[in-house]
Structure 1
Amino acid sequence: MDELDRKILEHIQHFGRSSYAEIGGAIGLSVSAVNERLKKLEKQGVIAGWTARVDPLAAGNGVLAFVYVLIERPEHEAAFQALVRSESAIQECHHVASDWSYLLKVRAPNLLALEELVARKIKALPGIPRSQTVIVMSTAKETATVPVHLSPA
């Protein structure tokens, strides 16, 4: 990845609906060069996919929470991970190095739905003795933009 690839990645993260001509105009490349570079970045897995950012409140998800989950033993992880993959309210799941096993980012329409997920689905799984839920009051910054650094030469 070179400086032009970095500029393309930064541009499309902020202006994802730009045409190849608009991207090329912003960074000084032809349409065909932009097309070639984007195809290369997708093939290399640098671009993992194309999506739209949806406003969570406008989509009816007024509650944002982070849920710490403790799993007693490794044999209980498969069922937990299967639940995580099946629940659309769970946006992210991270295996963490702390007193907890996992950290979840959850968006729910209301507190009742959050409680249903945590108390009746997650904590109902075998091997999950406890969890801790942190409800977000407001958000100062949230971004899906990934900083792009040049690969070492």
Structure 2
Amino acid sequence: MDETDLKIIELLAVDSKRSLADIGQGVGLSPSSVNERIRRLVASGTIRRFTVDLDPLALNRDTLVFVWLGLRESSDETAFRRYAQTHRSILECHHVTGAWAYLLKIRVGSPSEIEGFLAELKAEGFLGRSETVLALSSPVSGAFLPKDGV
């Protein structure tokens, strides 16, 4: 991967619908050369998917919450991971070190929905203990963008 690939990634991260011609202008390549580089980046797994950036307010999911989660001793961790992958409120699930087993990033419509989310985890037999943190604002949020060639 060279500087041109990193610039292509940066342009796609800002707008994945950007035309090949527009990207080519930004990096000094023809559209067909840009297309070939993107194809290679996808084939290598560097680019995993193209997606859309949704407005949480428009979807009535404007409350961003982080949940530190300790699983119950009897929990099936594989079942929990499958559950997390399919739950519509869970945006991210990270297995972490330290006092907690997982860190969940969720979006709900209002703070009152957090209690229902936790009750659901408990009913499924996963919730051992938790700590919930509400995000007040997100001054930096978004896709990974390579900076300074990193």
TM value normalised by structure 2: 0.90
Taking only the aligned residue pairs, the percentage that are identical comes to: 37
Instruction: Give 2:103's aligned residue.
Output: 103
2:72·2:129 contact (CA, 8 Å) conserved in 1?
A: no
2:137 is the counterpart of 1:138 = yes
Distance 1:146 1:73 in 2: 39
One-letter amino acid of the structure 1 residue matched with residue 19 of structure 2: S
TM-score between the two structures when normalised by the length of structure 1:
0.88
The answer as to 2:92 corresponding to 1:92 is: yes
Amino acid at match of 1:137: L
1:13 aligns with 2:16: no
Structure 2 portions without partners, runs of 5+: none
Root-mean-square deviation over aligned CA pairs: 2.0
Partner residue, 2:43? 43
Q: How many residues align?
A: 150
- Give the Å deviation of 1:128: 3.1
Q: State the distance in 2 between where 1:18 and 1:35 align.
A: 12
Q: CA deviation at 1:4?
A: 1.1
Find the counterpart in structure 2 of residue 122 from structure 1: 121
Partner of 2:27: 27
Counterpart of 1:61 in structure 2 is: 61
Deviation at 1:74, TM superposition (A): 7.7
Report the CA distance shift for 1:72/1:146 in structure 2 as closer, same or farther (over 3 A).
farther
